[in-house]
Amino acid sequence: MAFYGSIAEADTYFAERGDTVWAAAGAGDKTFALVRASQYLDAVYTWPGQVADVAQELEWPRTSVSYRGVGIDAATVPLPIQRAAYEAAVRELNAPGYLNPDFELSGQIKSKSEAIGPLSESVEYAVPTGAISARPKILMIDGMLRGLVRSGAGAANFAVTRA
């Protein structure tokens, strides 16, 4: 199973922060949470550069990436990504499925009106924007990854030349 960071480093990370949810979990649960957290990060964030090896399970390590003005070695997963995985994992431990909730297109009511005579009912359903919008937005993780993600979903950097 592939995940960012290590259980030992996550144990230290949470011990320094006094987190009891992580400390109480068994090694198997921690592993599963880190796997789901790493998959969450790769699904939600758009990383710069290219994967170091097309056969790798996760999006990191990567090539052609710099952070804070320093090039990142192609065999390295930056510390902020590992820590973001730990933060996502503890949320997943606390509430399994939190990072990737099931999504149902129907049933989201935007407004409802009723009238008694002569019996009338109107229901307006919210227009779903898709399953991606059902995923949680974790501001702490967004902050940790600032400087390591491309801006905007699926963003790509390219030059525009006028003819």
The residues spanned by each domain of the chain are 7-104+135-145
Contact criterion met (CB below 8 Å) for 21 and 96 = no
Q: Give the whole-angstrom CA distance, residue 120 versus residue 99.
A: 40
Instruction: Record the pTM.
Output: 0.75
Tokens of 81: 């990504």
List strand residue ranges (DSSP E) for the chain, in order: 50-51, 62-63, 66-67, 70-71, 109-115, 120-125
Contact criterion met (CB below 8 Å) for 138 and 91 = yes
10 Å CB burial of residue 5 (0-12, 13-18, 19+) is buried
Give the angle subtended at the CA of 89 by the CAs of 85 and 91, to the nearest 5°: 125
Contact criterion met (CB below 8 Å) for 92 and 102 = no
User: From first to last of its 163 residues, what are the pLDDT tens digits of the chain?
Assistant: 699 999 999 999 999 999 999 999 999 999 999 999 999 999 999 999 999 999 999 999 999 999 999 999 999 999 999 999 999 999 999 999 899 877 655 556 667 777 788 887 777 766 555 555 566 789 999 999 999 998 654 443 333 334 4
Contact criterion met (CB below 8 Å) for 38 and 4 = yes
- pLDDT score, position 111: 72
10 Å CB burial of residue 80 (0-12, 13-18, 19+) is middle
The pair phi, psi for residue 61, each rounded to 5°, is: -75, 165
Q: Give the whole-angstrom CA distance, residue 104 versus residue 128.
A: 9
- pLDDT score, position 106: 56
